[in-house]
Structure 1
Amino acid sequence: MPGIRFSYDPTWNGGTLSIKAKYWFRDSKDINIATIENVSISLGRVSKPGRYFFNNADSLALADYTIRTQNEKEAIKTIRHCYFDISDTRSGILNITKLDRNKGILAGTFEFTLTRSNPLTNCNSVVKITEGRFDLLSR
């Protein structure tokens, strides 16, 4: 069950962009076990098409990945929760190919790598997202 949301505020922080994608699926023979993956990108100072970089030096650029496996039968009990936060290392590129505020169009590509500074049990300490793409209309 995929879902995607985006917002763009040209008046906040020189133009603030946020993209959030969610994918929900069952990966087990037990029909009560579900996995939810979330990818989020947030960036400030976005006013036109171009290349924007994710790195720790620019706190306006954030990339996040979360995966949670849960048992729905037990009142949504979380079995595994892997996440990356603002203190973790991130690198990558967001390439905006179209940004038309009047028509509400946003398009581009992205890729990033997140490296967790303190590894979590049963979770990868590095996540690499490649070949990300979005074509969004906000109306």
Structure 2
Amino acid sequence: MQRIYIPVLVIIVTIAAACKKNNSTTNDPNNVPGLPPATQIGANTFGCLVNGVPWVPQGSNGTNNLSIDYDPGFNNGIFSISAQRILSVNQTTSIGIGIRDSLNFVTPPKKYILSRNSLFGVYYHDFNGCMFGYFDSTISKEGWLLISTYNKNNGIISGTFEATLIKNACDTIRITKGRFDFKF
């Protein structure tokens, strides 16, 4: 009888040892496969879904594929983000976000609504020749930008964004689950 217990015990111990605790964050709504986590620590990250496909900066053409421009002295503190996805010389996609409003007086969370005349702008340019410029009046824009962290002392700005851009003769661009987290 003991001979049966030993092999069964060995099998149970082996199976138990092979099991790992699931530490994944798949139930976290902010966790999106293919995108960086939505952090607020100055991690220098940017990502979003473009028409449902993960989009993060990558590649290089001699310039940075991700940059933030923050000027606390101009117009009482403006900022913009520029991100590029460079797959090859002829396959570059760019996404930009900018605020022309004063950041020096912002207390997070602060939400900016995107419209044709808003202080928040977004651009998108793809290698198929469709360009959705900041100030292009032929574009229909909807969306928002939420600044969740703005810490001047530690030089951190982070937030989330979404936008839908529509232009004749171009595919509609739906930017969702957008997140950024920068040290400036």
Query: Which secondary structure state, in structure 2, belongs to the residue aligned with residue 81 of structure 1?
Result: coil
How many residue pairs match? The answer is 115
One-letter code of the match for 1:131?
A: K
Residues 1:14 and 1:115: Cα distance change in structure 2 (over 3 Å): farther
Is the aligned partner of 1:104 residue 2:152? no
More strand by share: 1
RMSD: 1.8
Is 1:130 aligned to residue 181 of structure 2?
no
CA distance in structure 2 between the partners assigned to 1:97 and 1:107 by the alignment: 6
- Report the TM-score when normalising by structure 2: 0.57
Identity of aligned residues (%): 31
Q: Which runs of 5+ in 1 are unaligned?
A: 27-32, 69-79
Select between 10-19 and 95-104 the one with higher mean Cα deviation.
10-19
The higher-RCO structure (CA 8 Å, 6+ apart) is: 2
List per-residue Cα deviations over 1:9-45 (Å, max 9, x = no partner): 233334312011111125xxxxxx7411100011122
Alpha-carbon shift at residue 46 of structure 1 (Å):
4.2
Question: 1:1-139 to 2 correspondence within 5 Å?
Answer: 1-2=58-59, 3-25=65-87, 34-47=90-103, 48=106, 49=108, 50-58=110-118, 60-68=119-127, 80-85=128-133, 86=135, 87=137, 88-116=139-167, 118-119=168-169, 123-124=170-171, 126-138=172-184
Q: Which has the larger radius of gyration?
A: 2
TM-score by length of 1: 0.73
- Normalized per residue, which structure has more helix? 2
Q: CA deviation at 1:66?
A: 0.4
**Shift of residue 89, structure 1, vs aligned partner:** 1.7
Amino acid at match of 1:55: S
Determine helix, strand or coil for the equivalent of 2:113. strand
Aligned to 1:102, what secondary structure does the other structure show?
coil
